[in-house]
Amino acid sequence: MQIRTKLALQFFVLVAFIILFCFSLIYLMLSQNRKSEFYNLMKQKAKTHAELLFETQQIDSALLSTIDEKYRNPLSSENITMYNVDGKIIYSNNSAVEYPITTSILNEIKLKGELQLEKSPYRILGITFKGKYDDAIIIAGDIDWASITKNNYLFRLLSSLYLISIIIVMFAGRLFAQRALNPLSKVITQVNNMPIESLETRLTVVNARDEIGQLAITFNMLLDKIQNSLKLQKIFLSAASHEMKNPLTSITSQLQVLQLKARPTEEYQQTIDSVLEDLTHLNKTTNDLIEFSRLSYEMNVGVAFEPVRIDDIIWDCKEYYAKVNPSSNVKIKFANLPENQDDLIIHANIGLLKIAFLNIIDNGCKFSANHTVTIQLMAHPTTMEVSFADQGIGMSESEREHIFEPFYRTNNTSGINGHGLGLAIVSKIMKFHKAQIQIESMQNVGTTFFFHFPRQF
């Protein structure tokens, strides 16, 4: 079922129920009002008859009966009967009509003073009367023809109005649903008309404050993400193929040259060294690609985190890098650290965090003339800050916007060995740990990376 049909149906049912409820309430209230008017009329007649019979000495029961019979409508079923306190009938103005009045009913009237009864088709009222000379119980009843006639007319009128109303509501509901979903239909039309070969087109946002506008904005944001993802994928594939192709081409060329003729031993040794260098670069590129793919997968399936002391990870990274690169110089500084060592604990994955820190250290040492990186650990109220500062070639502001893209390398790093995957891996790992990244850099002065980790309290 389409949303338009479902919305129109829901609107129809809701409004039809509200109209039915209102009409029913009107009918019941008017019916109750007419019923009260009838009993009030019976009460007035009963009191009038009692006062004439008991308070006026010139009128007796025979004369009162004669008066009632003369002025009563021949079609009326009205009967006013009076009982004494012992339950005996002392007056009745219409002997042709009798009500089933029992002793228990008379006793209940005595007890309550007034009692309303409905004995189909009659409505009966019983009251007590205290006169100057005697007390009595008066039973007055009749068929309420006025209420029956008016109620029937009202029922027919409200039923007709209800049928007309729900027909109007049905068409109004369809119109309402169509107008309400018209902006959504326009969005669907725009999406269907978007060219497949281009992701540059965006949906038109008419009203950003309503749900349809929010949907269009969300869809445009999704298109932005897809476009950026495809752009990164294109760059990644281009750069990856380039990084893999160059070493393989170089290796193939050098080996083909050796096959042309015999060479001195020194040339063979030089070629072997060059091929090993290319293979090392190719092996490093392959390992980083595998690591990058593994991180992308783990971001979707999740990795294990545990409480770790961040200062221990920094010391481990310094010791490990000093072994593999003896010419490097990694300095560590601590500032504003908490007195309680447990406050140095963060929630992290040790293996991934070491990979990120080692990549940053390697970049800093590689791009610094003195191969020096200074690591500083500083505690803040809600975060632990780890900074890596080098005295290298630095980068411009425009370059800083792209350094976390896979295979991106700045113009002044073309002569330095590398393939541009290290910082992309660092960026993914920091997203894992919900760490904020900040960069300060100045060309020919140096670069400092700041990582702010949420503290584990």
Domain membership of residue 361 (yes or no) is yes
Over 80: is that where the pLDDT of 41 sits? yes
**How much is the pLDDT for 25?**
94
In terms of Cα–Cα distance, which of 328, 333, 412 is closest to 370? 328
pLDDT for residue 131: 72
Find the largest Cα–Cα distance for the chain.
161
**Residue 164 located in a structural domain:** no
Run of H or E including 328: none
Q: Does some domain include residue 262? A: yes
Burial class (CB in 10 A: 0-12, 13-18, 19+), 174: middle
Are 447 and 389 within one domain?
yes
Q: What are the tens digits of pLDDT across the range 415-445?
A: 555 556 778 888 888 888 889 999 998 888 8
Q: What is the mean pLDDT of the chain?
A: 81
In this prediction, residue 456 has a pLDDT band, given cuts at 50, 70 and 90, of: low
> In the structure, what pLDDT confidence band is assigned to residue 145 with cuts at 50, 70 and 90?
confident
Q: Are residues 376 and 413 in the same domain?
A: yes
User: Model confidence over 369-378: pLDDT tens digits?
Assistant: 888 999 999 9
What pLDDT score was predicted for residue 420? 66
Q: What CATH number is associated with residue 442? A: 3.30.565.10
Q: Of the residues 301, 325, 344, which one is the last residue of a structural domain?
A: 301
- What are 276's two structure tokens? 């090993």
Contacts of 108 (CB under 8 A, 6+ apart): 115
- Are residues 116 and 29 part of one domain? yes
Asked if residue 352 and residue 383 are part of one domain, the reply reads: yes
Q: Assess whether 88 and 8 both reside in one domain.
A: yes
Cα separation, 367 vs 372, in Å, equals 9
Residue 255: HSE in the Cβ half-sphere, 13 Å Cα cutoff: 10
Split at pLDDT 50, 70, 90, the class of 40 is very high
Residues in CB range of 440: below 8 A, 6 or more apart: 447, 448, 450
Q: How far apart are CA 75 and CA 349, in angstroms?
A: 99
Check: pTM over 0.75? Answer yes or no: no
Report the candidate in 374, 383, 293, 273 with the shortest Cα–Cα distance to residue 328.
374
Burial 365-386 (b: 16+ CB within 10 A, else e): bbbbeebbbbbbbbbeeebbbb
**315 in the same domain as 293:** no
Q: Is residue 159 part of a domain?
A: no
Tracing tokens 């978007």 back to the chain, one arrives at 194
Angstrom distance (rounded) from CA 372 to CA 328? 6
Run of H or E including 296:
helix 265-301
Token representation of residue 399: 């370059």
- 331 alpha-carbon distance from chain centroid: 50
Considering the domain architecture, whether residues 282 and 324 belong to the same structural domain is answered as: no
Task: Identify the band that residue 86 occupies on the pLDDT scale cut at 50, 70 and 90.
Answer: confident
**Residue 96 pLDDT more than 70?**
no
Q: Which CATH number do you get for residue 270?
A: 1.10.287.130
Q: pLDDT value at position 63? A: 64
Are 268 and 258 in contact, with CB atoms under 8 Å apart? yes
Inter-CA distances, 283 with 247, 289, 291, Å: 10, 10, 12
> Comparing 109-118, 126-135, 235-244, which segment has the lowest mean pLDDT?
235-244
Same domain, 321 and 449: yes
| Domain residue limits at 401 | 306-454
Last residue of one domain, picked from the residues 301, 317, 335:
301
- Residues 207-222 have a mean pLDDT of 80
Per-residue pLDDT band for 18 (boundaries 50, 70, 90) equals very high
Residue 280 sits in the same domain as residue 399: no
The 10 Å CB-count burial string (b at 16+, else e) for 46-84 is beebbebbbeeeebeeeebbeebeeeeeeeebbbbbbbe
Q: Among 13-27, 190-204, 291-305, name the most confident range.
A: 13-27
* pLDDT (0 to 100) of residue 450: 94
Judge if 384 and 412 occupy the same domain.
yes
Whether residue 445 lies inside any domain: the answer is: yes
Sign of CA dihedral 411, 412, 413, 414: positive
Local confidence band at 295 (pLDDT 50, 70, 90 cut-offs): low
Q: How far apart are CA 312 and CA 397, in angstroms?
A: 33
Asked if residue 171 is part of any domain, the answer here is no
Which residue from 425, 392, 426, 421 is spatially nearest to 408, judged by alpha carbons? 421
Q: If pLDDT is split at 50, 70 and 90, which confidence band does 294 have?
A: low
| pLDDT surpasses 80 at 286 | no
Q: Is residue 251's pLDDT more than 90?
A: no
Number of domains in the chain: 3
CA distances for 219 relative to 192, 214, 216, angstroms:
13, 9, 5
Q: Residue 135 has which token pair? A: 């007390």
Least confident of 5-19, 178-192, 318-332: 178-192
Q: Which two tokens stand for residue 88?
A: 């005996």
- Say if 177 falls within a structural domain: no
- Element of type H or E holding 329: strand 329-335
Boundary (domain end) residue, out of 100, 121, 151: 151
Mean pLDDT of 380-390: 90
Report whether pLDDT(236) > 70: no
At 32, which CATH number?
Answer: 3.30.450.20
One domain for residues 310 and 450: yes
Q: Which of 150, 156, 157, 152 is closest to 38 using CA atoms?
A: 150
Residues 6+ apart with CB under 8 A from 121: 143
What backbone phi and psi angles, to 5 degrees, belong to 201?
-70, 140
Tell me, yes or no, whether 187 lies in a domain: no
Does residue 251 share a domain with residue 359?
Answer: no
- What is the band of 66 on the pLDDT scale with cuts at 50, 70, 90? low
